[in-house]
């Protein structure tokens, strides 16, 4: 379980987390009509910094735009969003890396199944949690549940209600004794894990499903691609068959809450040598450095709050 910090932002002010409530009659609860993002605030030598805050803000706006929650964008500029993160940080005391969950909720009561014009409210709270995928070698299985396609509930939008898809898949994996799942699309191609993107290394090439493969366009996925580019690693974004995972030299998951997690087994097939591969280890260490301000050339991704 995560440790949630005492003060939250809700209904325009900082309040005790115990007072940050959404009505049981709201569209947010009735239909899962909320969109969210989670970004880290990390300790660096220069103090605490938010990672890729503008990218997280923009993805939040895009998620709301996709599902038609159209009242948020005009009310919340990036500057106002950033200032609110600052107020939330000042209201809480923390000494180590933390996560912030920012959610736009549709708060109208029993509005019916629609989205346009609904009242929206932003919540934000800080929490500490362990990585969602083991960091020293994850064992995964193909999910019995398929990833929601773009023409059904778009995986590109981070919609709270859509996360039932991830819960079903993760629970199935846990029930079967695995750490996480591999989601396939309806054609049997690889998408991602329950809440992390996937990368494969074959013959020295870094390969990941393209952004039109029913995935969330992960901010760490983009970061990994940018790091790999600086290292001169060839990157390909394309359709991946399940059986390619069985013969990959290396596999890893990446995400805000997964960091970079080597995958050492898929459906009982050992990946590579059964330990974190060379490329995975380099990217994992560089990614940690990028998040903590020690990688030269990536400092612009950290936002001073």
> Binding to ligand PMP by residue 218, rule CB under 6 A?
yes
Please report where in the chains the tokens 């560089």 appear, as a residue. Answer: 286
Other CB atoms within 10 A of residue 102 CB: 22
> Does 276 interact with ligand PMP (rule: CB under 6 A)?
no
Size of the site for ligand PMP (CB under 6 A): 13
Task: Answer yes or no whether residue 42 interacts with ligand PMP by CB under 6 A.
Answer: no
53-67 vs 78-91: helix crossing angle, rounded to 10: 120
- Closest separation between CB of residue 180 and ligand PMP, Å? 11
Q: Which of 7/147 has CB closer to ligand PMP?
A: 147
Residue 198: exposed, middle, or buried by beta-carbon count in 10 A (0-12, 13-18, 19+)? buried
CB 290 within 8 A of CB 223: yes
Taking CB under 6 A as the criterion, the residue among 159, 169, 219, 271 binding ligand PMP is: 219
Over the window 256 to 275, marking each residue x when it contacts ligand PMP by CB under 6 A and - when it does not, the resulting string is: x-------------------
| Closest approach of ligand PMP to the CB of residue 100, in Å | 12
Residues forming a β-bridge with 139: 265
CA 141 to chain CA centroid, Å, is 20
Task: Report the residue from 22, 196, 201, 263 that binds ligand PMP according to the rule CB under 6 A.
Answer: 196
Residue 220 interacts with ligand PMP (CB under 6 A)? yes
**Strand pairing category for 47-51 and 235-237:** unpaired
CB of 202 within 8 A of CB of 155?
A: no
What Å distances lie between residue 127 and 166, 182, 286, 301, CA to CA? Answer: 21, 26, 24, 21
- Per CB under 6 A, does 208 bind ligand PMP? no
Strands (E), 32-119: 34-44, 47-51, 98-106
Candidates 209, 255, 262, 293; binder of ligand PMP (CB under 6 A) is 255
153 with 165: CB under 8 angstroms?
yes
Binding mask 109-148 for ligand PMP (x = CB under 6 A): ----------------------------------------
**Local structure of 277: helix, strand or coil:** coil
User: Which 158-187 positions form the footprint of ligand PMP (CB under 6 A)?
Assistant: 166
A 10 A CB-CB count for 116 gives 9
Among 27, 216, 264, 291, indicate the residue that binds ligand PMP (CB under 6 A). 216
Please give the Cα distance from 209 to 207 (Å, whole number). Answer: 7
Q: Determine, following the binding rule CB under 6 A, whether residue 192 of this chain makes contact with ligand PMP.
A: yes
In this complex, which beta carbon is closest to ligand PMP, that of residue 42 or of residue 71? 42
| Region of 105-113, 205-213, 216-224, 295-303 interacting with ligand PMP (CB under 6 A) | 216-224
Q: Does 84 bind ligand PMP (CB under 6 A)?
A: no
Q: Which residue has the tokens 């503008």?
A: 54
Binding interface with ligand PMP (CB under 6 A): 38, 166, 192, 195-197, 216, 218-221, 255-256
């Amino acid at each position: 379980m995560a440790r949630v910090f005492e003060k939250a932002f809700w209904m325009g002010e900082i309040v005790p987390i115990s007072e940050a409530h959404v009505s049981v009659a709201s569209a947010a609860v009735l239909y899962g009509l909320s969109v969210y993002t989670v970004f880290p605030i990390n300790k660096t030598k220069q103090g605490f910094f938010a990672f890729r805050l503008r990218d997280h803000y923009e993805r939040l706006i895009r998620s709301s735009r996709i599902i038609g929650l159209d009242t948020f964008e005009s009310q919340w500029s990036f500057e106002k969003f950033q200032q609110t993160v600052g107020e939330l940080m000042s209201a809480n005391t923390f000494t180590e890396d933390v996560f912030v969950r920012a959610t736009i909720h549709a708060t109208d009561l029993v509005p019916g199944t629609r989205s346009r014009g609904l009242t929206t409210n932003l919540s934000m709270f800080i929490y500490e949690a362990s990585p969602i995928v083991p960091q020293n070698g994850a064992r995964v299985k193909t999910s019995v549940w398929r990833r929601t396609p773009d023409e059904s509930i778009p995986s590109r939008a981070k919609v709270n209600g859509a996360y039932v898809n991830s819960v079903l898949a993760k629970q199935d994996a846990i029930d079967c004794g695995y750490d996480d799942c591999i989601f396939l699309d309806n054609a049997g191609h690889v998408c991602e894990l329950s809440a992390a993107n996937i990368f494969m290394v074959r013959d020295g090439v870094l390969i990941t499903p393209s952004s039109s493969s029913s995935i969330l366009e992960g901010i760490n996925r983009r970061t990994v691609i940018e790091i790999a580019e600086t290292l001169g690693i060839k990157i390909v974004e394309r359709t991946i068959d399940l059986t390619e995972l069985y013969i990959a030299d290396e596999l890893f998951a990446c995400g805000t809450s997964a960091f970079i997690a080597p995958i050492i087994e898929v459906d009982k097939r050992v990946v590579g040598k059964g330990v974190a591969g060379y490329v995975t280890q380099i990217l994992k260490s560089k990614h940690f450095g990028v998040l903590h301000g020690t990688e030269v050339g990536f400092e612009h991704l950290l936002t001073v709050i």
